[in-house]
């Protein structure tokens, strides 16, 4: 039996809003969805009349819906904004090449200009090449750091006032959960901020901050918007995946938990002695950085010097490493060690027994305390460890410095690698 639209328009309802549980017809859903975003924009004072605004466009559901809604609201409420699309081509075959075709379709559909910047042009490396060099463990660290700077560079080229990103309520709630789970309370304020950016940088704003992912998918579905829904071929993102799974489970029981978690993140008090790194300008590339040399430059230097692992870790010590490396060029011990390492890295998969005679669990110096166990390439690791030590870099997987894990990209850099497929959503009823 048909159910009447809850908004009282007289039509039959065709959907149940995941956020509120209201049963609505399509038109009343569109109105509610768009009006909430309009309210978020005006309450957060995200834009000023006459602003040029770059929409970070990936071709995915979030940025596609963002572009569509921004165009609609700009006309409907006469914001007076000059909207344009800005895309980053990471160089991921089978993923970004296809999704960029969707962005080009968005450009034509929404009649906005489109600027595409590629990692290859900016850094000389595609993600395909980086992954071939570093493997699939830290790929998102490189990708996230490079993307953040690439967006800054693109925005500077376009001369825009701000960058609008498609981060939705689920993304932000996931990030809050992740920061809580890893004890990084200092980031809570920033990850829940609707507008981020310090002096001298181009701010990023999140008009979809309070918009549920499920509603974004529903809106795209009913509006028949064209978007790309394949996951990145390099997407591991295990930690975010767990946070996402936890959130989805909780959402099934209590849909308001997404808003509740964002609210908790917004209002959680941060102790004064927990400070975020201050922003400055990278001495090399002149873009914003929390260190003298920015993370993008450090990672790039590591790639170009053939030892990318040295770019992973504490950036405060990476500068020292770079200076010492340069001082010892050419024909330095490090040079030879890099050649050795590259040779040995080919064999790191081969399992063997530690050659040390030490039988107890004391560190023999070759195997990080794993004597008499299978080494699984430990000899190579020990050489890396001694190099890292020599160059003042801890061999760390994740170093917590004042509560900030420097390997984990900022939430704005983060790519969920997600696809938002419709099949998993309960839309009609
Ligand atoms: Fe880059 Fe995202 Fe793919 Fe990771 S999942 S490699 S951050 S596009
Ligand atoms: Zn730099």
Cα(234) to centroid of ligand 1, in Å? 6
pLDDT of residue 343: 47
pLDDT in tens, 300-309: 888 888 867 7
For tokens 């978690």, the residue is: 261
pLDDT in tens, 345-380: 434 333 333 333 333 333 333 333 333 333 333 344
Q: Which two tokens stand for residue 413?
A: 């850099």
Query: Which whole number is the average pLDDT over 25-41?
Result: 98
Query: Which whole number is the average pLDDT over 99-104?
Result: 94
Percentage above 90 pLDDT, the chain:
49
The predicted model scores a pTM of 0.76
Cα(279) to centroid of ligand 2, in Å? 12
Answer with the residue of higher pLDDT: 398 or 204.
204
* Residues 279/286, Cβ–Cβ less than 8 Å: no
Residue 320: strand, helix, or coil: helix
The residues near 17 (Cβ < 8 Å, ≥ 6 apart) are 23, 24, 29, 32, 215
* Residues 406/315, Cβ–Cβ less than 8 Å: yes
* Residues 292/282, Cβ–Cβ less than 8 Å: yes
* Residues 199/192, Cβ–Cβ less than 8 Å: no
pLDDT of residue 98: 86
pLDDT in tens, 152-206: 999 999 999 999 999 999 999 999 999 888 888 878 878 899 998 766 789 999 9
pLDDT at position 286 over 50: yes
Residue 400: strand, helix, or coil: strand
Closest atom of ligand 1 to 232 CA is 3
**Local confidence band at 420 (pLDDT 50, 70, 90 cut-offs):** very low
pLDDT of residue 78: 97
Please tell me the least confidently modeled range out of 45-49, 205-209, 222-226, 425-429.
425-429
Q: Which two tokens stand for residue 391?
A: 């160059």
Q: Which two tokens stand for residue 410?
A: 């900022």
pLDDT of residue 328: 65
Cα(69) to centroid of ligand 1, in Å? 25
pLDDT of residue 287: 84
Name every protein residue with a CB atom under 6 angstroms from any ligand 1 atom: 90, 127, 139-140, 143-144, 232, 234-235, 237, 415, 417
Closest atom of ligand 1 to 96 CA is 8
Closest Cα to atom 1 of ligand 1 = 143
Cα(20) to centroid of ligand 1, in Å? 32
Evaluate the omega torsion of the peptide bond into residue 330 and state whether it is cis, within 30 degrees of 0.
yes
Strands 404-405 and 195-196: unpaired
Q: Which two tokens stand for residue 404?
A: 């900030």
């Amino acid at each position: 039996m048909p159910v009447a639209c809850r908004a009282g328009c007289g039509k039959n309802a065709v959907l149940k809003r995941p956020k509120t549980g209201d049963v609505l017809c399509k038109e009343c859903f569109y109105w509610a969805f768009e009006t909430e975003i309009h309210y978020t924009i005006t309450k957060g004072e995200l834009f000023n009349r006459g602003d040029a605004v770059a929409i970070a466009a990936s071709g995915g559901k979030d940025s596609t819906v963002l572009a569509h809604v921004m165009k609609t609201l700009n006309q409907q409420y006469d914001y007076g904004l000059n909207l344009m699309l800005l895309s980053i081509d990471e160089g991921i075959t089978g993923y970004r090449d296809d999704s960029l075709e969707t962005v080009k379709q968005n450009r034509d559909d929404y009649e906005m200009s489109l600027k595409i910047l590629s990692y290859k042009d900016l850094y000389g490396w595609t993600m395909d090449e980086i992954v071939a060099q570093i493997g699939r463990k830290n790929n998102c660290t490189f990708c996230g750091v490079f993307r953040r700077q690439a967006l800054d560079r693109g925005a500077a080229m376009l001369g825009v006032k701000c960058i609008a990103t498609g981060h939705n309520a689920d993304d932000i709630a996931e990030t809050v959960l992740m920061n809580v789970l890893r004890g990084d309370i200092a980031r809570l304020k920033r990850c829940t901020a609707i507008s981020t950016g310090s002096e001298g940088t181009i701010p990023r704003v999140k008009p979809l901050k309070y918009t549920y992912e499920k509603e974004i998918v529903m809106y795209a579905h009913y509006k028949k918007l064209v978007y790309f829904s394949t996951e990145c071929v390099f997407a591991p993102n295990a930690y975010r995946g767990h946070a996402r799974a936890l959130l989805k489970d909780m959402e099934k029981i209590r849909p308001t938990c997404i808003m509740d978690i964002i609210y908790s993140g917004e209002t959680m008090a941060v102790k004064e002695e927990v400070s975020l790194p201050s922003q400055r300008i990278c001495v090399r590339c002149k873009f914003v950085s929390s260190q003298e040399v920015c993370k993008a430059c450090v990672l790039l230097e590591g790639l170009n010097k053939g030892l990318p692992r040295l770019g992973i870790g504490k950036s405060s010590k990476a500068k020292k490493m770079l200076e010492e490396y340069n001082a010892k060029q050419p024909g330095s011990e490090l040079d030879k060690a890099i050649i050795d390492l590259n040779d040995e890295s080919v064999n790191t998969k081969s399992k063997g027994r530690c050659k040390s005679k030490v039988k107890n669990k004391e560190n023999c110096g070759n195997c990080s305390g794993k004597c008499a166990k299978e080494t699984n390439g430990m000899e190579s690791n020990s050489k890396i460890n001694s190099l890292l030590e020599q160059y003042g870099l801890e061999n760390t997987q994740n170093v917590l410095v004042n509560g900030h894990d420097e390997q984990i990209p900022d939430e704005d850099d983060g790519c969920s690698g997600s696809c938002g497929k419709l099949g998993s959503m309960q839309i009609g009823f």
